[in-house]
Amino acid sequence: MNGAQPLRLALTPSGRFAALILALHATAALCFLTLMTGWLAAAGAVLLFAAGLAAAWDRALLRGRRAPNTIEIHASGEAVCRFANGDSAAVEGRGGSGVARHWVALRLRSPWRRSLLVAGGMLPAEPFRLLRLWALWGRLPGVAPRQLPPAP
């Protein structure tokens, strides 16, 4: 690896992503209540919504102890995710099925978290575009090896 500085992508909380997580969990809880009755159904619905709160807190608002803080992409194409508690994990792109216009799904090599979904609001436009390119191709755009310098 050369001495080039890695591209550091600092993740920011996404309120829209958190609202989406909560809306989906609330819908699941309501569906649960329509299928079952009694205190067991109510308890299940509350647990489903509580799981949504926990997921939104950790995955979208990035407030958990093990929430991702930054993604560092090195010139060699390797990437590392740094977490709030100081741990880190290697990151892999998922290719075409893991990249869309508004989100990027990444695979993590971590014992307690296997994936990371980066929503569009978690990064500014240009760093998010670079993350999408890296997730698709495994490298950042740049100069090809042994490319001639531009003509004067």
Confidence tier at 138 by pLDDT (50, 70, 90)? confident
Residue 105 pairs in a beta bridge with 117
Q: Check if the beta carbon of residue 68 is closer than 8 Å to that of residue 82.
A: yes
- As given in the structure block, the two tokens for residue 148 are 């001639």
d(Cα 87, Cα 83) in Å, to the nearest integer? 5
pLDDT in tens, 6-30: 899 999 999 999 999 999 999 999 9
Looking at the whole model, is its pTM more than 0.75?
yes
Task: Say which residue the tokens 């299928």 belong to.
Answer: 35
Q: Check if the beta carbon of residue 92 is closer than 8 Å to that of residue 75.
A: no
Q: What local confidence, expressed as pLDDT, does residue 17 receive?
A: 96
Q: Which of 130, 139, 128, 136 is nearest to 77 (CA)?
A: 139
For residue 10, the number of C-alpha atoms closer than 13 Å in the C-beta half-sphere is: 1
